[in-house]
Amino acid sequence: MSVALPSAEATRRPRLRVDPFVLLAAPGLLYLAILFALPLAILLFRSFQASDGTFSIAGYIAFFSDPHNLSVTWRTLKVAILSTLLCLVLAYPTAFALARARGIVQSLILVAMVLPLSVGVIVKAFSWSIVLRSDGIVNQTLLALGLVEAPVRLLFTETALVIGSANVFLPFMVLPIYAVVRQIDPELSPAAASLGAGPFFRFFQVVLPLTLPGVIAGVAFVFSLAISMYVIPSLLVGERLSTMSMLIARSFLFFRDAQLGSTISAILLLMAVIVVLGSSYLVRHVSGGRA
């Protein structure tokens, strides 16, 4: 009785096939690894490195033991959350107007959203400092309307910081929502109305669930930018109301304390990463695992 031996073709191990499109991403991934991931790894390592070169978490203990640092952390989170919410309130109807507009109107709205991105952040922040100062347009208008008897202090406040940051980051909220809204069939809401659904039911049960992926992506973009902004708070609130990014600059540039600066940077990065990862999970959950 003869036993057939497996041929060489059958015993050959299957070759690992690499998608050629993955190779196209190799230069970008290498660039990010060298100029982004590697410096972040070094920064994280230095946050655990004491002045004598030993491994220690003393930097984190010292940071969270200081009430001033805790108040700055809370202020940074509060401003980022308020800026994100203000951007969302302004961007949601704007995205629908942009998606439903046609012709020259849509082009004008799109240009109004994209063109400010070409203007430097410093220019925008200085513009808001002129608008919000005691003799600025806002106070002059309030005085002319008789709403106030004396100029209101707007500059160097959290309100000014929230308004200024929302103005800068608004396009990053509008564009992700617009990308989702333009794919929604405009006949869905009228169809739900023909079945007896009221305005609130149509919005919360039909429109809002379909736009959640864009909302979550926009919130992740704006919050990550708002929590780490440096130029805007430096010009609008100065040293009066410090943020974590300002503490980082002060630690490296003035105190020459690399461990403190690295520690605050690591904490700030962790906050941003939590929001990004959480938003990615929400997008996959909302879209049923298709995102």
Convert the pLDDT of each residue in 75-98 to its tens digit: 999 999 999 999 999 999 999 998
For residues 110 and 239, state if they share a domain.
yes
81 lies in the same domain as 171: yes
- The structure's pTM equals 0.83
Q: Is the pLDDT of residue 291 over 50?
A: no
**What is the reported pLDDT for 237?**
87
d(CA 143, CA 229): 32
Domain of residue 50, residue span:
21-56
Q: Is residue 221 part of a domain?
A: yes
Q: What is the pLDDT of residues 193-229, one digit of tens each?
A: 777 777 788 888 888 888 988 999 899 999 999 999 9
Same domain, 168 and 147: yes
248 in the same domain as 106: yes
b/e 67-91 (16+ beta carbons within 10 angstroms → b): eebeebbebbbebbebbbebbbeeb
Dist CA 213 CA 194 (whole Å): 26
- The Cα–Cα gap between 167 and 161 comes to 10
Query: Is there a single domain that holds both residue 242 and residue 143?
Result: yes
Mean pLDDT of the chain: 84
Q: Are residues 96 and 222 in the same domain?
A: yes
CATH number for the domain spanning 275: value is: 1.10.3720.10
pLDDT number for residue 112: 82
The three-state DSSP-derived secondary structure of 142-173 is: HHHCCCCCCCCCCCCCHHHHHHHHHHHHHHHH
- Are residues 181 and 239 located together in one domain of the fold? yes
Does any domain span residue 4? no
Residue 287: the pLDDT is 63
Q: Looking at the structure, do residues 72 and 150 belong to the same domain, yes or no? A: yes
> Do 31 and 146 belong together in one domain?
no
Q: Are residues 38 and 72 in the same domain?
A: no
Q: Do both 79 and 99 map to the same domain?
A: yes
Q: How many domains does the chain have?
A: 2
